Amino acid sequence: MTRIIDGKQLAAQVVDDVATEAKLFLDKHGVKPGLAVVLVGEDPASQVYVRNKIKRAEESGLNSIEHKLPADIDQNTLDQLIDQLNQDPAVHGILVQLPLPDHLDENAVINSILPAKDVDGFHPVNVGLLSSGQDAMVPCTPLGCLIMLRQVMDDLTGKHAVVVGRSNIVGKPMAALLLRENCTVTTVHSRTQNIEQICSEADILVVAVGSPEMVKADWVKPGAVVIDVGINSVEHDGAYKLKGDVDYQAVAPVASAITPVPGGVGPMTIACLMKNTLTAATQQLS
């Protein structure tokens, strides 16, 4: 029987745990852990994600502060806001929703966030800490994927993990995290030759490419654990449906465990943002 890893249920559990800890934090310090959420422009998907982050923050007992900025804001004004949030003692975590409009320099914005408040784990200091196997703020999607893997695997040591995709948000930090868990890690991407063959040797397959249903049944070793990070909106007969990067119907019978889309990695990304904010607040006040 294939196990379906229920991201919605697991995320609710993570949020519950954060809420318990956040209450203890409030009792001890007299303030709630504070999360500043910065949204630039009106991208519909980003608006949904930010709304869900604010909702989850309330459920987690965090204080969320939303900053909605117009799409044509200049770099200087955005930098000034980040500076102000860096200095605000009530703000323990800063989240800038990506992607930013093209005229803004995403790397410059990420680099201007204090590493201690970088709850996305995208700052080069956190990237370096994670890559060198040290305590770091771990990006929310890979952290969520790891928590899901631990639900179905006692020990990841020595497992061959194949990560499909090399983005800064998911692929690269996922590979670093799996290495820290003592996996043998292979990263494959759009220029990799024999990609199907390499994937079919994986005990753990994490797919984050943004290509609907790319991974087919013959790419997957029987009994592998499959984590699908893709969220693709696909039109069928005039209606839009969300599809992962994995052909779920075909792959589920081959895998020992698999995450669905929707309701898999996505909700865990948001829950892990709450977890990171609590961690950041605790580290800043201890």
Q: Report in angstroms how near the CB of residue 167 gets to ligand LMY7XDAE at its nearest.
A: 10
Interface residue with ligand LMY7XDAE, options 29, 41, 263, 284 (CB under 6 A): 263
Residues numbered 23 to 52 that lie near ligand LMY7XDAE (CB under 6 A) are: 48-49
For residues 159 and 166, which CB has a smaller minimum distance to Mg ion in the complex?
166
Q: What is the DSSP string of the chain?
A: -PEE--HHHHHHHHHHHHHHHHHHHHHHHSS--EEEEEEES--HHHHHHHHHHHHHHHHTT-EEEEEEE-TT--HHHHHHHHHHHHH-TT--EEEE-SSPPTTS-HHHHHHHS-GGGBTT--SHHHHHHHHTTS-----HHHHHHHHHHHHH-S--TT-EEEEE---TTTHHHHHHHHHHTT-EEEEE-TT-TTHHHHHTT-SEEEE-S--TT-B-GGGS-TT-EEEE---EEEEETTEEEEE-SB-HHHHTTTSSEE--SSSSHHHHHHHHHHHHHHHHHHHHT-
- Least distance from C-beta 207 to ligand LMY7XDAE, angstroms? 13
131 in a known ligand binding site? no
Report what 62 binds from ligand LMY7XDAE, Mg ion, none; CB cut-off 5-8 Å by kind: none
Task: Say whether 166 counts as a known binding-site residue.
Answer: yes
Of Mg ion, ligand LMY7XDAE, none, which one does residue 270 interact with (CB within 5 to 8 Å by kind)? ligand LMY7XDAE
248 binds, among Mg ion, ligand LMY7XDAE, none (CB under 5 to 8 A by kind): none
* Residue 231 sits in the site that holds ligand LMY7XDAE (CB under 6 A): yes
Q: Which of 269, 276, 277, 279 binds ligand LMY7XDAE (CB under 6 A)?
A: 269
Cα(159)–Cα(234) distance, integer angstroms: 33
* Cβ pair 244, 264 in contact under 8 A: yes
Calculate ∠ Cα 31-36-42, nearest 5°: 150
Contact 269, 236 (CB under 8 A): no
Nearest to 229 by CA among 149, 153, 118, 151: 149
Binding mask 186-225 toward ligand LMY7XDAE (x if CB under 6 A, else -) reads ----------------------------------------
Q: Quick check: is 243 catalytic?
A: no
Contacts with ligand LMY7XDAE by CB under 6 A: the residue count is 19
Among 21, 118, 120, 203, binds ligand LMY7XDAE (CB under 6 A): 120
What residue 268 binds from Mg ion, ligand LMY7XDAE, none (CB within 5 to 8 A, per partner kind)? Answer: none
Taking the least distance from each CB to Mg ion, the nearer of 124 and 223 is 124
Positions at the binding site for NADP(+):
165-167, 231
Binding site for Mg ion (CB under 5 A): 102, 106
Binding site for ligand LMY7XDAE (CB under 6 A): 48-49, 95-98, 120, 140-141, 169, 231, 242, 261-263, 266-267, 269-270
The residues assigned a catalytic role are 53, 97, 120
